[in-house]
């Protein structure tokens, strides 16, 4: 373990060594994203930035101007990154078409997490783009001193429920005991009134396209459950589940659950492998989406 004061001396030693290739650094540090990126770029050492925070625009500029190459991926759980990409694209194509729908979000994390899920917040933005009226102010400001379960109003009948009590996680949700201290379970329930003024078409399209999405290479090796009412992919160890609960014409739920940290380690390995194949490039910043789009290539 090196102290921050020793970081540059270590990088100097690495960059001046007789190695045929410089190593790839994987960074999970907190609060030093841009500082560390500047050091890696100073010595042209390729890196994967898995830490959150920092100034993303400045980080990209540092890499480009130095002629270095990097992958910036704050979320290394590639199946979840793929799900976010899917929802981002879907919400752009169906912008405004879910006006009148109700959204109920439920997310569960270990009791030490004081704020709302960042992934769930990203999904809120997709649903807002789709036209669902959501006031996210309370979700954005949430900071809990004690682990409790709390339901926050979003707008109308839409809600955002945060689960932090291990008793609820164990009993009502069924989170395995060994993962109470490290998990992320998310459900997004969409419903609409039986009204000719509110179209069921975008929900039907979401069902159809999500089933196609579950056939992507990112789920290679996953077990398949093809409903009805469930369409989902489950990792071989059972600790990653992504899918759709098709409840009826006027209701459906999207979900993604992660137990433990293995999926992040697997994603990190994929990111490093990708960067290794691109390490000769100059002034280039890749993302986890670039890695996803290249899964199965050059392996």
Residues 101, 137: one domain? Answer: yes
Q: pTM to 2 decimals?
A: 0.88
Helical packing angle, 78-93 and 262-277, nearest 10°: 80
Contact predicate 274/293, CB 8 Å: no
Domain hosting 245: range is 78-260
Q: Quick one: the chain helix, strand, coil %, rounded to 5?
A: 40, 25, 40
pLDDT in tens, 36-95: 999 999 999 999 998 777 788 999 999 999 999 999 998 899 999 999 999 999 999 999
E strands in the chain: 25-27, 47-49, 69-72, 102-109, 150-155, 158-163, 183-191, 223-226, 230-234, 240-248, 251-259, 284-287
Residues 248, 275: one domain? Answer: no
Measured distance CA(179)–CA(172) in Å, rounded: 15
Residues 254, 273: one domain? Answer: no
Residues 90, 38: one domain? Answer: no
Residue 138: the pLDDT is: 95
Residues 251, 269: one domain? Answer: no
Residue 296: the pLDDT is: 64
Largest CA distance in the chain: 72
| Regions of the chain with pLDDT less than 70 | 1-2, 18-20, 296-299
Active site residues: 109, 113
CA-nearest of 256, 253, 254, 298 to 277 is: 298
Residue 18: the pLDDT is: 66
């Amino acid at each position: 373990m090196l102290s921050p004061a020793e970081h540059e001396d270590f990088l100097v030693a690495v960059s001046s060594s007789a190695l045929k290739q410089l190593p790839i650094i994987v960074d999970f540090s907190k609060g030093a994203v841009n500082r560390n990126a500047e050091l890696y770029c100073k010595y042209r050492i390729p890196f994967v930035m898995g830490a959150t925070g920092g100034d993303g625009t400045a980080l990209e500029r540092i890499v480009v101007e130095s002629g270095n190459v990097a992958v910036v991926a704050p979320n290394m759980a590639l199946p979840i990154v793929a799900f976010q990409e899917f929802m981002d694209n879907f919400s752009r194509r169906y912008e405004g078409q879910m006006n009148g729908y109700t959204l109920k979000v439920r997310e569960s994390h270990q009791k030490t997490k004081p704020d709302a899920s960042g992934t769930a917040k990203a999904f809120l933005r997709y649903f807002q783009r789709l036209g669902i009226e959501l006031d996210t102010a309370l979700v954005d400001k949430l900071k809990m001193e004690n682990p409790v379960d709390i339901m926050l109003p979003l707008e109308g009948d839409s809600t955002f429920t945060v689960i932090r009590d291990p008793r609820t996680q164990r009993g009502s949700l069924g989170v395995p005991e060994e993962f109470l201290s490290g998990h992320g379970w998310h459900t997004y329930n969409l419903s609409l009134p039986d009204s000719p003024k509110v179209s069921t078409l975008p929900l039907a399209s979401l069902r159809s396209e999500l089933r196609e999405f579950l056939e992507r290479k990112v789920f290679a090796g996953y077990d398949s459950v093809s409903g009805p009412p469930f369409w989902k992919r489950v990792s071989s160890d059972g600790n990653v589940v992504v899918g759709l609960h098709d409840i009826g014409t006027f209701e459906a739920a999207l979900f993604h659950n992660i137990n433990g940290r293995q999926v992040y380690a697997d994603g990190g390995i994929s990111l490093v492998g990708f960067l290794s194949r691109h390490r000769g490039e100059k002034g280039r910043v890749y993302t986890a989406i670039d890695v996803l789009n290249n899964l199965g290539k050059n392996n």
